Each structure stands twice: as structure tokens, then as C-alpha cells.
Amino acid sequence: MKTLIAKNSWLGINGSRLDASFHLSDGRLAKIKLERCPYEVVSLHEVTRDIFNGARFKRYYVQKKDKGIPFMGSSDMMKSDITGLKLISKRLTKNIDDLYIKKDWILVSCSGTIGNTVYTNDDYHNKTASQHIMRIIANGKLPSGYLYAYLSSKFGYSLLTQGTYGAVIQHIEPQHINDLPIPILPNLKQQQIHNLILSAAKLRVEANKFLEDVVEYFDMKYGIKDISNTFSKSINDLGFSWAAYNNNLECDKVESKLGESITIRDVATKCFAPPMFKHIYLDKDNGHPFLTGAELTKFIKKYYRWLSPRGLKNIEDYKVKKGTLLLYKSGTTDGGILGNVFITDDILHNACLSDHVIRIFTDDIKMSYWIFAFLKSSAGVRLLKKTATGSMIPFITPERLLDIKFPKPDDNFNWIADKIENYISKSVDSQ
């Protein structure tokens, strides 16, 4: 049980809050500590040019890239790969100029899951974002990277989330954080922190460029430009299901373009998803680090849970090793996490992952890189979703995954492998 004697002067803070949870929150306790801070403390509004939410608007989605602008939701902004975003119409979206994101801004998720922060690099520049993402623009009095690092820290997060409201879905508004206290460390330390953030942001851009190069290679060879939402197909040509995504004509075109191809079954030594299990979490020193599928998608992978081997027949089935190809097997087919592919790097090595993640092993790490690169392309994504089954929540089985076709390695095999190796290396270094 937490206890604290509240001063009478505190009761007028944040709209005369009388609930104990507010005064015992990490944010409130952080403010008490900052009052004793040996450094100067200023309010957030003093070091920012603007703090605002994006405008609310009616969304008109389009499929052609020349007709739309990439649009980011609060869950998208944390992803390591922000390509493949939905596109909002350039022509039909009112005041679209007010929705753009610029480089060196700080983004904060302000609805639902709140307090997540992102420092925008070149990959975010000129994409649009929803009203559920708050924008913070530094005014130059403090380095923007230093400000981001503070807001991303345990102190900053607790202060950002202290002023939430809403009984069901939590929210924060710009006025709630205008007076958020910022400690002013010595200039040298500020600059060191700022430079580290800039370096990490640059490494993420470089990593994503390596991935973009290999995806573009496969898109140029096997991508389908003319995408249609409606099509007809003979009943004799239907697959194992009548669902549209299982009979997608674009997939037929991709497979015909592959020519001489092989299947994952031909090269995989093992492919499985571990059975469902009872999740029993322990303190850090006593358990195995664990990540969910959604946490896999984030550019910074942090461990919040440590899994107990109790309730599991074999904890090793849930651990992954460096170089293992990973695929999230369940979700929606319209832009959800279903079919997302990952490669186990040094950060994920020996971590436990959800039973929703399929593990694919090969004897050749370069072959795993080749498959990974193809499955990240638009052609690979379509083929993956074609294999999904299930009426409520579609899912991919290891058996169907093994039958997915991909192009045989060509003269660019080593070039692709080197690109993916660099992508993994720089992604790790950026964290």
C-alpha cells in the first residue's frame, strides 16, 4: 500500500484533484523530486514554439500513391517500418497542410495508449498524422534531442501521463502539459544527449534505406501496379476458401511472374508456432525476457515482462535465436499486424516471444535474409495474406506458410543479403 501526506497547497493543482491516485502517481512524485532539483527548472511552454494536436477531419482513403499522402495513427508512429501506411486523399482532405509532420519534431501519443514519444527523422518528414498524435516543436532554447530524451525518460513519461482524463479511453491535451517541468542540465550534457538522439535518428533512416532498396528490387520485378478492390473468378478456380483475400487475382499475377520458384518448405529446416500457454510473469532477475507481437513492430524494443517457465512444457520453444525468421500469424488482412515479418537480431536473441509468432529456420542465414526481403515486398505481403484462414480473426498456419512460393536466388542474392545485414546492424545500433 502506498501512503503520502498531502499538503493543503497541493489540492488546487490540476483542477482541484482530490483523488489519492493522482497525488500518489509517479508523475506527482516526480514533480516533488524536481522541486528539490539543483538545476534550473522551466516549463515546457517556455522551450517550445508550439504544442498542438492534429485537426479532426473526415478521412478519405485512396490506394494510388500519386493520389494520396501517407497517414499515420498513434500506433503507426512507434513502428520500426513506417512504409506501407494508409493513404489519405490529396484532393478530398480539407486543410491537409495542417496535418503534415516535419523533421526534428517530437510526437506524443495522446489518446488510448498515451505518453509514447517519437523523435521525427527524415522518414517522418511530410507524412500526415491523426489528431491522436500531439506535436511538440522546440523553439531552440533547448536542443530538440535533449527535450525528446527527457520526455521519453521515466520522469518525462510519468509527467506526460499524470494529467490524463477519461473514464474509458484516456486522453491528454496540450494544455495539460504546458507547464510540465523541464530540468536544465549543463550545456555540454544537453549537447551530448542531443547528438546521441540525432545519431540514433540518422541510423534508423540509414537502416530503413537498406530495407527500402531490397523491397524496391522485388517490387520492380514482381509487384502489381493495377490493384482492384473487386474482381470475378470462376468457381472452379477458387482455393480452399471463398474469402476474397484467399482468391486475390493479384496473387495469381505475382505467382505467374515468379517463373521458376521454390517454396519455404524447400529450404526450411523447421517451421512452427509454439502452443498457447499460461502467462506467468516474474521480476526481472527471475524470469526470461518476453515480447508480444505488437512490441516486435516497434523501433525501440524494451522488455517490460519476464516470463516464468512454470506453465510451459519447454521454455526453449518460446526463445528465438539470432537469424531466425519470424512471422506474426494472426490479425486483420486490411493493414493489421497479420503477416508482418521480422529477423531475430542481437536484441531479440534468447528472448521469449508470443505463441502468435511463427519461427522459420534455415541452414543458410543468407537464404533467411532473401526470404525476409521478398516477404517485405508488396508481392510477398499479398501472398502471405492469401494463405490466411479464419472467419473472425484470420490467421496463418505454419503448414500453409511452408507452401508460399518465392523467387529462386539470382545474381543479386549476395547483394540482398548484405543489404539486410546492414539493415539489422544499423537498427540495433540505433537503439
The Cα–Cα gap between 84 and 95 comes to 23
pLDDT at 168: 40
- Say if domain 41-185 classifies as CATH 3.90.220.20: yes
pLDDT at 350: 93
Which residue's entry shows cell 527471475? 286
Domain boundaries, the chain: 41-185, 203-429
pLDDT at 1: 59
Amino acid identity at 403: D
Q: Which residues contact 285 (CB under 8 A, 6 or more apart)?
A: none
DSSP designation for 67: G
H helix runs in 153-283, sequence order: 154-160, 174-177, 187-222, 249-258, 264-267
- 320 grid coordinates: 528465438
Q: Which residues contact 388 (CB under 8 A, 6 or more apart)?
A: 245, 246, 333, 338, 339, 394, 395, 396
- 217 grid coordinates: 528490387
CATH topology of domain 203-429: Adenine-n6-DNA-methyltransferase TaqI; Chain A, domain 2 (3.90.220)
**Sites in the chain below the pLDDT cut of 50:** 165-169
pLDDT at 167: 44
The Cα–Cα gap between 58 and 124 comes to 22
Q: Give the CA-trace dihedral at 277, 281, 286, 292, to 10 degrees.
A: 70
The Cα–Cα gap between 359 and 349 comes to 13
**Among candidate residues 350, 198, 205, 210, the one with its CA nearest the CA of residue 289:** 350
- 201 grid coordinates: 535518428
The Cα–Cα gap between 136 and 143 comes to 13
pLDDT at 247: 65
Angle between helices 249-258 and 378-386 (to 10 degrees): 120
**Do the domains 203-429 and 41-185 match in fold?**
yes
